[in-house]
């Protein structure tokens, strides 16, 4: 795929020029002002649809550039929780009419495109339809609004779902409405990996849309790469995450294929080669991106049967949760962590959810504790009675403790103290990310295994590898 690269203009010394920020082009070639200039001059505002992690970070980035922002979310509870952030230039609402006024120059669409672990386009289609109908109902003279979709899309979404909506509303894209894609690739837990710092890919349905998007995105991003069209821009996010999905899946398949070998150590040593990343076996992937990437590609492909590696990645990823649950069939089980990743309050596709479902199916008693979640939040996701009531009693009575996300709290008290107490009954600790892998010693009746260690899934029933004639 040939991709044109368009980076923010710089001077001869390599310094970033600020014309696209403080002094954007005030008019287009047709004499109309641009969406960017409408924002920077304060004549109009931006609207962010969806106020989760991605949407709210867009809100904050716009506010840092003194851009007026209206944040919309369908959840009245989420809006209420964000009210304290309101102030000059920032308003949050669950009222859609306010988000569809002529005062909005740029719409950032950050709504979920996943439901029950499958690609889902209803929320995106609903928002885009509302924007198109509102735009089509107004008189055309003036600056066309710009829609930038930040959500990850199933390939084919623009062609099959969005373009027909614009046509039905009587809009000509590039004249009445600009449409661009710029899926996010932020990592919220590391300095230097935010919206400003990371390279970002974008693309428009036509040159006018791409140009409008570039000017606006330049307000928030230092380096932009333009895809040659929306078809390519749609695929990039899915493809880059599916690369990681395949590598993680290989780590898990290796530990299943060589159960008596310390695959954590093998992969650590393999990672010392200059062109190989370091991965480790796990309970499976989680979050909005990696576990869904292969599903997006399979759903949108003209020939999904040719993507056999992705199909196997989805199957293995799903299977890992079941294998973990089956390996701890003797309860009670305490699961530490509902979030899919340490330090972030996101449970989307967390391994804990599927493991809990499997333990329920197997009739194994379990309870869950996460320092970032209230008991009511845990039980809203996993069912009544699933939250740990007394952490000390639960761990002392447990036969198995599963450590799922790498929350830093798990390395300290009270967790470490409870897990290292002398016990009357055996305790098995399975550690997804090796949070406690460096702990020097464990009590006599406590067995610790990190995912990928020898026989980590089931030391009692995994048979020794059969000898093979390798000659």
Sign of CA dihedral 389, 395, 399, 404: positive
**Do residue 208 and residue 298 come from a single domain?**
no
CA distance linking residue 266 with residue 379, whole number of Å: 39
Residue 193 pLDDT exceeds 90:
no
Domain that holds residue 209: 35-228
Residue 5 pLDDT exceeds 80:
no
Residue 464 lies in a domain: no
pLDDT (tens digit, 9 = 90+) per residue, 14-59? 333 333 333 344 544 444 589 999 999 999 999 999 999 899 999 9
Residue 258 lies in a domain: no
DSSP structure string for 91-116: EEES-HHHHTSTTEEEEEE----EET
Residue 458 lies in a domain: no
pLDDT (tens digit, 9 = 90+) per residue, 376-435? 999 999 999 999 999 999 999 999 999 999 999 999 999 999 999 999 999 999 999 999
Residue 460 pLDDT exceeds 50:
no
pLDDT (tens digit, 9 = 90+) per residue, 234-285? 999 999 999 999 999 999 999 999 999 999 999 999 999 999 999 999 999 9
pLDDT grade for 330, boundaries at 50, 70 and 90 = confident
Residue 215 lies in a domain: yes
pLDDT at 466: 59
**Do residue 277 and residue 413 come from a single domain?**
yes
CATH classification at residue 191? 3.40.50.720
CA distance linking residue 246 with residue 290, whole number of Å: 9
**Do residue 162 and residue 224 come from a single domain?**
yes
**Do residue 309 and residue 205 come from a single domain?**
no
**Where does residue 89 fall: left (phi above 0), alpha (psi -120 to 50 degrees), or beta otherwise?**
left
Residue 159 lies in a domain: yes
Domain boundary among 181, 205, 228: 228
DSSP structure string for 113-181: -EETTEE--HHHHHHHHHHHHHHHTS-S-SPPPEEEE-S---TTHIIIIIHHHHHHTT--BTTTBEEEE
Domain boundary among 228, 245, 275: 228
Domain boundary among 228, 247, 276: 228
**Do residue 286 and residue 433 come from a single domain?**
yes
pLDDT at 470: 61
Tokens standing for residue 385: 């009675």
pLDDT grade for 186, boundaries at 50, 70 and 90 = confident
**Do residue 178 and residue 299 come from a single domain?**
no
pLDDT (tens digit, 9 = 90+) per residue, 106-124? 999 999 999 888 899 999 9
Mean pLDDT, rounded, of the chain: 89
pLDDT grade for 464, boundaries at 50, 70 and 90 = low
pTM: 0.86
**Do residue 184 and residue 270 come from a single domain?**
no
**Do residue 283 and residue 217 come from a single domain?**
no
Number of domains in the chain: 2
**Do residue 290 and residue 345 come from a single domain?**
yes
pLDDT at 24: 43
Residue 134 lies in a domain: yes
Residue 253 lies in a domain: no
């Amino acid at each position: 795929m040939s991709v044109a690269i368009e980076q923010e203009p710089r001077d001869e010394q390599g310094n970033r020029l600020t014309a696209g920020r403080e002094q954007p082009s005030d008019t287009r070639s047709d004499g109309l002002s641009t969406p960017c200039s409408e924002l920077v001059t304060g004549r109009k505002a931006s609207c962010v649809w969806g106020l989760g992690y991605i949407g709210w970070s867009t809100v904050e980035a716009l506010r840092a550039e003194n851009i007026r922002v209206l944040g919309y979310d369908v959840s009245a509870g989420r809006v209420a929780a964000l009210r304290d952030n309101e102030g000059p230039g920032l308003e949050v609402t669950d009222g859609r009419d306010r988000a569809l006024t002529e005062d909005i120059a740029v719409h950032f669409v950050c709504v979920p495109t996943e439901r029950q672990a499958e690609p889902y386009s209803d929320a995106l289609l609903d928002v885009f339809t509302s924007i198109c109908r509102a735009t089509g109902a107004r008189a055309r003279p003036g600056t066309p609004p710009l829609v930038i979709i930040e959500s990850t899309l199933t390939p084919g979404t623009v062609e099959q779902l969005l373009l027909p909506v614009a046509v039905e509303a009587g809009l000509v894209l590039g004249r009445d409405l600009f449409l661009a894609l710029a899926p996010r690739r932020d990592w919220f837990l590391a300095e230097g990996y935010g919206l400003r710092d990371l390279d970002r890919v974008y693309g428009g349905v036509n040159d006018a849309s791409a140009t409008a998007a570039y000017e606006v995105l330049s307000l928030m991003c230092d380096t932009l790469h333009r895809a040659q069209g929306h078809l390519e821009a749609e695929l990039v996010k899915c493809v880059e995450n599916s690369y990681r999905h395949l590598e993680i899946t290989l780590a898990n398949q290796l530990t299943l294929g060589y159960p008596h070998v310390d695959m954590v150590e093998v992969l650590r040593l393999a990672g010392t080669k200059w062109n190989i990343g370091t991965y480790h076996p796990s309970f499976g992937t989680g979050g909005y991106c990696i576990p869904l990437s292969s599903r997006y590609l399979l759903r949108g492909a003209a020939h999904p049967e040719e993507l056999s590696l992705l199909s196997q990645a989805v199957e293995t990823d799903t299977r890992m949760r079941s294998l973990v649950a089956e390996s701890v069939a003797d309860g009670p089980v305490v699961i530490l962590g509902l979030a899919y990743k340490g330090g972030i309050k996101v449970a989307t596709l967390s391994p804990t959810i599927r493991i809990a479902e499997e333990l329920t199916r197997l009739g194994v008693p379990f309870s869950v504790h996460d320092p970032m979640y209230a008991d009511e939040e845990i039980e809203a996701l996993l069912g009544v009675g699933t939250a740990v009531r007394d952490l000390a009693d639960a761990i002392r009575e447990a036969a198995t403790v599963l450590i799922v996300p790498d929350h830093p709290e798990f390395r300290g008290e009270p967790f470490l103290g409870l897990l290292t107490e002398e016990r009357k009954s055996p305790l098995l600790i399975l550690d997804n990310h090796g949070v406690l892998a460096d702990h020097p010693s464990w009590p006599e009746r406590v067995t610790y295994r990190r995912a990928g260690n020898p026989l980590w899934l089931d030391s009692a029933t995994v048979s020794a590898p059969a000898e093979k004639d390798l000659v």
